[in-house]
Amino acid sequence: MKMNEYQITYVAYDLMNKKPLNGEAVKTILEVATEQHPNASIVYSRWGDYYLKINDKPNAITSYQKAIALDPTDQQSKEILDSLTK
């Protein structure tokens, strides 16, 4: 499965918002996204979303920090990170 970073993270995001959550499928897609696009901010932002969804705040914070490090203009990740660290 070779997609650009936006296509593959959209698939993960779509799966994340279906009920019931298939966490293993989301995680697998995000792992592929990370392998294919290791320097894409959106991939780490989606990891953050995934970790929030499963209530893993420490890993969510780390993921959003990585997203911002890769793209300092990522306002959405900054806002979420701010809300998690207050």
Contact 16, 26 (CB under 8 A): yes
Helix residue ranges per DSSP H, the chain:
5-16, 23-36, 41-53, 57-70, 75-85
pLDDT of residue 6: 93
pLDDT tens track for 38-65: 999 999 999 999 999 999 999 999 999 9
Residue 2: is its pLDDT beyond 90? Answer: no
pLDDT value for 84:
96
Give the Å distances, CA to CA, from 44 to 19, 20, 35: 23, 23, 12
Q: pLDDT over 90 for what percent of the chain?
A: 95
Report phi then psi at 2, rounded to 5.
-115, 110
